């Protein structure tokens, strides 16, 4: 299991919010599912720290980008589900665009043309 040890908290925080929002595009989910989806999709490169997942979820809810409700999980347990709001969807688009620009800009600085092309087309 390759772990990505990222010490840049601010970067991670920004990206975590974005990834949570992205995960919720496909449907409502509770905390465990969100973490799992992120890990699976990133082919286990990213591991979601629980210590930042829950504060992040609360933060997103404060900003009204997600809403929450209590429902039953796949295993019929009481779980708190999060749903993407309209504002959240807009925020996701904004965040994604910003992220792509950032990747491209960093790529240009570092000078890896292919990586930029890759990042841009994927």
**In terms of CB distance, is 49 or 118 closer to another protein?**
49
The distance from CA 16 to its chain's CA centroid, rounded to whole angstroms, is 4
Q: Which residues contribute to the site for another protein (CB under 8 A)? A: 30-32, 35, 49-51, 54-55, 58-59, 62, 73, 75, 77-80
**In terms of CB distance, is 62 or 114 closer to another protein?**
62
Task: Tell me how far, at minimum, the Cβ of 95 lies from another protein, in Å.
Answer: 21
What is the rounded end-to-end Cα distance, in angstroms, of the chain? 24
**In terms of CB distance, is 77 or 100 closer to another protein?**
77
Burial profile 59-85: b = 16 or more Cβ within 10 angstroms, e = fewer: bbbeeebbeeeeeeeeeeeebebbebb
Task: Tell me how far, at minimum, the Cβ of 12 lies from another protein, in Å.
Answer: 15
């Amino acid at each position: 299991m390759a772990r990505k040890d990222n010490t840049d908290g601010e970067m991670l925080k920004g990206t975590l919010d974005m990834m949570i929002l992205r995960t919720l595009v496909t449907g409502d989910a509770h905390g465990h599912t969100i973490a799992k989806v992120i890990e699976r999709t990133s082919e286990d490169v990213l591991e979601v720290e629980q210590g930042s997942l829950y504060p992040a979820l609360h933060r997103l809810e404060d900003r009204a980008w997600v809403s929450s409700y209590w429902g039953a999980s796949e295993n019929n347990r009481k779980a708190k589900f999060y749903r993407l709001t309209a504002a959240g969807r807009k925020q996701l688009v904004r965040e994604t665009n910003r992220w792509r620009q950032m990747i491209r800009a960093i790529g240009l600085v570092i000078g890896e043309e292919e990586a930029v092309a890759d990042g841009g087309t994927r």
